[in-house]
């Protein structure tokens, strides 16, 4: 009786590595853990860094625009910015043109911290993807799935 495929690839005999949700969930968990550890000395985590990266380039953005880029809820971005502002990485300024809007900008500390942390992120991702024959192709696949 031959059923090597099922047995070896976790099809029916208990392995979870068949399941896309399981794989994505735990791959993300391991990346998050590695990133958190590597970024901790710089005073931020991967989520903070993503916020900084959204506001680092181009024209100043309102909170809503930052939230949209990150694909997070506008009620979440407030707390994130509170933390970043307390640590002196960002500043919120009322927009003169539309006084409802908070324009979010990097401080110079925020900019230098971003530059260092971004290097760390790239190193972590590089090492994380090292087991793959074609790391860029994997990233492209993820982009395709998101439609970006």
Partner DNA sequence: TATTGTTATACTCTATAACTATA
Partner DNA sequence: TATAGTTATAGAGTATAACAATA
Residues in contact with a copy of itself by the rule CB under 8 A? 10, 12-17, 19-28, 30-32, 35, 46, 50, 53-54, 56-58, 69-71, 121, 125, 128-129, 131-132, 138-139, 141-148
Give the residue with the Cβ less far from DNA, 130 or 145.
Answer: 145
Is residue 59 left, alpha or beta, with left meaning phi > 0 and alpha meaning psi from -120 to 50?
beta
Sole window of 5-13, 70-78, 111-119, 121-129 interacting with DNA (rule: CB under 7 A):
70-78
C-beta of 111: minimal distance to a copy of itself in Å? 13
Q: Give CA–CA dist 14/132, Å, rounded.
A: 25
Name the E strands within 24-101. Answer: 61-62, 90-94
Annotate 110-142 with DSSP letters as a single string.
HHHHHHHHHHHHHHHHHHHTTTSS-HHHHHHHH
Three-state DSSP string of 72-84: CCHHHHHHHHHHH
Q: Is 47 in the site for DNA (CB under 7 A)?
A: yes
C-beta of 44: minimal distance to a copy of itself in Å? 13
Residues binding DNA (CB under 7 A): 25, 45, 47, 62-65, 72-79, 81, 92, 98-103
């Amino acid at each position: 009786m031959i059923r090597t495929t099922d047995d070896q690839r976790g099809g029916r005999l208990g392995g979870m590595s068949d399941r896309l949700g399981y794989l994505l969930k735990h791959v993300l968990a391991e990346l998050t853990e590695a990133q958190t550890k590597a970024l901790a000395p710089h005073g931020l985590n991967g989520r903070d860094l993503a916020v900084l990266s959204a506001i680092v380039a181009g024209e100043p953005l309102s909170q809503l625009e930052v939230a949209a880029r990150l694909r997070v809820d506008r009620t979440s971005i407030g707390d994130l910015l509170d933390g970043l502002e307390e640590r002196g990485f960002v500043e919120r300024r009322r927009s003169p043109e539309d006084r409802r809007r908070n324009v979010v900008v990097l401080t110079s500390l925020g900019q230098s911290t971003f530059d260092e942390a971004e290097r760390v992120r790239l190193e972590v991702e590089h090492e994380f993807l090292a087991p793959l024959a074609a790391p860029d192709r994997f990233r492209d696949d993820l982009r395709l799935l998101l439609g970006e």
